[in-house]
Chain A
Amino acid sequence: MASKLRGIKLKSRKTTEGMHSVKMPAPKTVTIPMSMHIGKPVTPIVKVGSEVKVGTLIAEDTNNLSSPVYSSVSGKVTKLTDVTISNGNVVQMVVIESDGEMTIDENIKKPEINSKEDLVTAIKNSGMVGLGGAGFPTYAKFTSDKPVETLIINGAECEPYITSDTATMVEKSDDIKTAIETIVKYFNIKEVVLGIEKGSDEAQKKMEEVASAIQGMKVKVLPPIYPQGGEKVLIYHTTGKVVPTGSLPIDVGCVVINCSTMAGIGNFIKTGMPLVERCITVDGASVKEPKIIVAPIGTQLKDVFEFCGGFNEEPFSVLYGGPMMGVAVPDLTAPVLKQTNAILALTEKETAVPKETNCIRCGACVTNCPFGITPPAITKAYKNKDAEAAIKAGAELCMLCGCCSYNCPANRPLVQTNKLAKELVREFKMKEANK
Chain B
Amino acid sequence: MENKLHISVSPHIHSKRSTQKIMLDVLIALLPATIAGVVIFGITSLAVVAVCVGVAVLSEFLFNVIVKKQQTISDLSAIVTGLLLALNLPANVPLWQAAVGSLFAIIIVKCIFGGIGRNVVNPAITARVFMLVAFSSMTKAAFPLDSTAGATPLALLAEDKNAVSLQDLLLGNVGGAIGETCAVALLIGGIYLLVKKVITWHIPVAFIATTFIFTLAVHEFDFMLALSLVLSGGLILGAFFMATDYVTSPTTPLGKLIFGIGAGLITVLIREWGIYPEGVSFAILIMNILNPYIDSLTARKMFGGAKK
Contact = CB atoms under 8 A, between A and B. Distances in A.
A371 B247 CA distance: 23
B13 interface: yes
Given A244-B305, A366-B300, A397-B304, A415 B9 contact: yes
A372 B13 contact: no
A244 B247 CA distance: 32
Contacts of B9: 328, 413, 415-416, 419
A176 to B, nearest CB: 28
B12 A372 contact: no
Interface of A: 5, 8, 10, 160, 232, 236, 242-245, 247, 314-319, 323-333, 346, 350-354, 357-364, 366-367, 369-374, 392, 394, 397, 400, 402, 405-411, 413, 415-416, 419
A373 B302 contact: yes
Interface in B84-143: 114-118
A77 to B, nearest CB: 23
Contacts of B5: 315-318, 328-332
Interface string B44-70: 000000000000000000000000000
Given A333-B1, A402-B11, A371 B302 contact: yes
A388 B21 CA distance: 36
Contact of A366 (B4, B11, B19, B252): B252
B18 interface: yes
Contacts of A411: 14, 18
Contacts of A236: 303
A290 to B, nearest CB: 16
Interface in B230-260: 246-247, 251-252
A384 B77 CA distance: 29
A360 B13 contact: no
Binding site secondary structure of chain A: loop
A2 B72 CA distance: 44
A29 B114 CA distance: 56
A147 B22 CA distance: 51
Nearest to B20: A409
A374 to B, nearest CB: 6
Contact of A325 (B11, B75, B247): B11
Contacts of B300: 366, 369, 372, 374
A318 to B, nearest CB: 5
B305 A245 contact: yes
A323 B7 CA distance: 13
Given A358-B116, A360-B116, A410-B117, A346 B246 contact: no
A357 B17 contact: no
Contacts of A8: 15
Contacts of A351: 6, 12-13
Contacts of B14: 352, 354, 405-406, 411
Contact of A5 (B118, B252, B303): B303
Contacts of A333: 1
B55 to A, nearest CB: 22
A419 B8 CA distance: 13
Given A323-B13, A397-B304, A400-B10, 18 more contacts: A242-B303, A326-B10, A328-B8, A332-B2, A346-B12, A352-B13, A357-B72, A358-B117, A361-B117, A361-B247, A363-B246, A366-B252, A371-B302, A372-B301, A372-B303, A397-B306, A405-B10, A406-B11
B171 interface: no
B303 A370 contact: yes
Contacts of B10: 323-328, 400, 402, 405, 415
Given A330-B3, A331-B3, A352 B303 contact: no
25 contacts: A5-B303, A245-B302, A245-B305, A317-B5, A323-B13, A329-B5, A330-B7, A332-B5, A351-B12, A351-B13, A352-B13, A353-B6, A358-B72, A358-B114, A360-B19, A360-B116, A360-B247, A361-B246, A366-B251, A394-B306, A397-B302, A402-B10, A405-B10, A405-B14, A409-B18
Contacts, number: 153
A351 B14 CA distance: 7
B75 A323 contact: no
Contacts of A364: 17
B145 interface: no
A169 to B, nearest CB: 25
B299 interface: yes
Contacts of A327: 10
Contact of A357 (B1, B4, B7, B75): B75
A413 B8 CA distance: 10
A409 to B, nearest CB: 4
Contacts of A245: 302, 304-306
B117 A359 contact: yes
Contact of A372 (B2, B77, B302): B302
Question: Closest 3 CB pairs between A and B?
Answer: A363-B251, A352-B14, A402-B11
Contacts of A232: 303-304
A412 to B, nearest CB: 10
A23 to B, nearest CB: 27
A364 B19 CA distance: 12
A317 B7 contact: yes
Nearest to B2: A331
B11 A415 contact: yes
B1 A331 contact: yes
Contacts of B22: 360, 362, 409
Nearest to A325: B10
Contacts of B1: 331, 333
Contacts of B21: 409
Contact of A409 (B17, B247, B252, B304): B17
